[in-house]
Structure 1
Amino acid sequence: MTSTRKPAPPFGRTLCAMITPFTEGGALDLDGAGRLAARLVREGCDGLVLNGTTGESPTTTDTEKAELIPAVRDAVGDRATLVAGVGTSDTRHTAELALAARQAGADGVLVVTPYYSRPQQEAVAAHFLRVADASELPVMLYDIPGRTGTRIEPDTMIRLADHPRIVAVKDCSYDFLGVQKVLAQTELAYYAGCDEHLLALYAVGGAGCVSTLGNVAPAHVAAVLDAFDAGDTGRAGRLQLEATPLIEALTGADLPGTVTTKALLSRLGLPAGPVRAPLLAADRETSDALLALHARLSTRAALTP
């Protein structure tokens, strides 16, 4: 069977939207972050997104964000790219965080659309261009209108692709037609930011994923893409469907993905710690259900031909 392997994408292929571990007292757990990062890379991730929303960026300080990057770098070395979330609703602050991420050793930055203020498309473009100009690092745009209130429209994305440092997109737009339009007209590397779209986006030319599921099942996420790259699309599809119940429980329920992911990691004995307010921890019933789904996925993946 003919291989469908693609050129190497700019930040790797299997990226995890890594949680930020805290101690039981709520402080930044740099040792835990290093141990978790090393495990993720060992089990299939070739990139990590730090200080994203799943990493509780709204409630970590600028100092904590800067400290996390070298701690993870020490743990993974050059075995994975590190993309630092720097997005805020303030263009000036976002540019400052991009500079700080470069100084801390990040390989790239993830920049979300300014949220709550609902800027017009011209303002959205100006925001991203200013941040891209502020740092020497390559930029991954983050399109998630369900959270920010503002879409990066396909025509705006196509315009932004002309900037030499805007090279990738984390897509949570739920607009598959718009995504394909941008893929067809630009060289932007598209990463699925919603785990349910992992295989579908990859099949039409996506670069890979920035996965929440990757925190708890990195080998399974990598296996979906490995199967597709090997031309075994049937196996890739089966693996994607087998992950669906856990994906739904992690990211499709009422609880934020950070809450569910940390609950499951804690039950697995892996670094996580509590969430920071205003988030509240998952209850025991929820964490029991997550643990059962994780065990089921692990068992089924081992049996999938």
Structure 2
Amino acid sequence: MIQDTLRGTGVALVTPFTKELAVDYNALRKLLDFTVEGGVNYLVVNGTTAESVTTTTAEKAEILQFIKQHVNGRVPLVYGIGGNNTQHVIDTIASTDLNGITAILSVSPYYNKPSQQGIYQHYVMVADASPVPVILYNVPGRTGSNVTSDTTLKLAVHENIIGIKEASGNLEQCMHIAKHKPADFMLISGDDLLTLPMITFGAVGVISVLANAFPEKFSRMVQFGLEHNFTAASELLYDFVDINPLMYEESNPVGVKAVLERFGVSTAAVRLPLVEATSGLKDKLYKLL
């Protein structure tokens, strides 16, 4: 079953850039090996952390093909296709080479602030059009609207919708989904520090930002959690408590890219309107590292 291949730690990959802001394929190769060899269970390509809003259509296609070829089946791939124009999302799905892609991750429509019925109909249209399974993505802090647990549960019965990345930070909402969802519908944490609490009531893992920089330790933490060894998992979790807020202090992926630069994996470069981590943020990160 597809859901079995997407348990554990998925990493929301950054897109490495050169200092001139071109896609840095040498750094991307290093990042892929760093995360896969570090033990992550799958990769998420072209998500929010990848700065997907500032990569071009041509770059997206090149990046996807490069990752497919270099990963070469070592771990499953999830690809981000979402937006606030339902027909454009459907057209993008139709024009994207999804061979070798296990599922798509599709963010709830942003900026429009649709009603729950609008969100529901959007996702039904997307799922009906997709040749691969769909994972919902609820991140109210970015979209300006929440996918309620009732809407999620209505969508969970669709045969081509297999899970949700829940980044609302609302544990009560997540519990409601866990209690009432179909058995094979995946609840996936979208917040690194809430992963262990969510696993206690039914989450199957996480799509993580921190796992870009700490793939081995973060994957072990999640695996301990899935094995219900919460003592060992918590010891690893506490190592991330201080650094996690710094990942978002100047917006994601600014923080994690600064860490990857420190580790020699890629530069800290991001594309406008994001700007590279300030010296103050880098100093705080480097002291923790």
TM-score of the superposition, structure 2-length normalised? 0.93
Unmatched tracts of structure 2, length 5 or more: none
Where 1:287 maps in the other structure, the secondary structure is helix
CA contact (8 A) 2:247 2:255 kept: yes
Could you tell me how far 1:286 is from its partner in structure 2?
1.4
Residue pairs, 1:8-23, within 5 angstroms: 9-23=4-18
Q: Report Cα offsets for 1:251-276 as digits up to 9, x if no partner.
A: 3x2x1121111111112111245100
CA contact (8 A) 1:67 1:104 kept: no
Q: Among 231, 234, 246, which residue is 1:234 paired with?
A: 231
Out of 107, 129, 133, the position equivalent to 1:134 is: 129
Does 2:136 align with 1:112? no
Give SS of 2:50's match. Answer: coil
| SS class of match (1:103) | coil
Shift of 1:108: 1.2
User: Taking structure 1 as reference, are residues 221 and 275 closer, same or farther at Cα in structure 2, changes over 3 Å only?
Assistant: same
The amino acid of 1:162's aligned partner reads: V
Q: What is the Cα deviation at residue 291 of structure 1? A: 2.3
Question: Is 1:249 equivalent to 2:214 in the alignment?
Answer: no
Aligned to 1:210: 207
2:269: which partner in 1? 274
Q: Give the share of equivalent positions with the same residue, in percent.
A: 31
Task: After TM superposition, give the deviation of residue 140 of structure 1 in Å.
Answer: 0.9
Q: Distance in 2 between matches of 1:292 and 1:266?
A: 14
User: Residue type of the partner of 1:18?
Assistant: L
Alignment partner of 1:224 is 2:224: no
In structure 1, how many angstroms separate the alpha carbons of the residues matched to 2:93 and 2:6? 16
Structure 1 counterpart of 2:140, from 145, 166, 174: 145
Partner of 2:86: 91
For the 8 Å contact 2:45–2:77, the answer to whether it is kept is yes
* 2:198 aligned with 1:201: yes
Moved more, 100-109 or 208-217: 100-109
Amino acid at match of 2:176: K
Aligned to 2:38: 43
Q: Distance in 2 between matches of 1:229 and 1:114?
A: 31
Q: In the alignment, what sits opposite 2:98?
A: 103
User: Counterparts of 2:105 and 2:97 in 1: how far apart (Å)?
Assistant: 12
| 1:113 Cα deviation after fit | 0.8
Once the two structures are TM-superposed, the CA of residue 12 in structure 1 deviates from its matched residue by 3.6
User: 2:25 maps to which residue?
Assistant: 30
Post-superposition shift, 1:8? 5.9
Q: Whole-Å Cα distance in 2 between the matches of residues 30 and 281 of structure 1?
A: 19
Residues of 1 paired with 2:4 and 2:96: CA distance? 21
- Against the structure 1 CA distance between its residues 182 and 229, is the aligned structure 2 distance closer, same or farther, given a 3 Å change threshold? closer
C-alpha RMSD of matched pairs (Å):
1.7
Q: Which moved more, 1:282-291 or 1:126-135?
A: 282-291
Paired residues in the alignment total 286
CA distance in 1 between counterparts of 2:5 and 2:88 reads 25
**Residue type matched to 1:280 in 2?**
V
Alpha carbons of 1:47 and 1:203: their partners in 2 closer, same or farther (altered >3 Å)? same
Contact 2:12-2:44 at 8 Å conserved across structures: yes
Change (3 A) 1:144 1:186: same
| Pick aligned residue for 1:264 from 253, 259, 264 | 259
| Amino acid in structure 1 at the alignment position of 2:24 | D
Separation in structure 2 between the aligned mates of residue 231 and residue 151 of structure 1, nearest angstrom: 30
Cα distance, 1:272–1:206 mapped onto 2, change above 3 Å: farther
TM-score (structure 1 length as normaliser) = 0.89
Q: CA deviation at 1:82?
A: 1.0
Pick one of 181, 193, 206 that aligns with 2:176. Answer: 181
Q: 1:283 aligns with which of 255, 270, 278?
A: 278
In structure 2, relative to structure 1, the CA distance for the partners of 1:178 and 1:83 (3 Å cut) is same
Question: Which residue is 2:156 aligned to?
Answer: 161
In the TM superposition, residue 10 of structure 1 has moved relative to its aligned partner by: 4.7
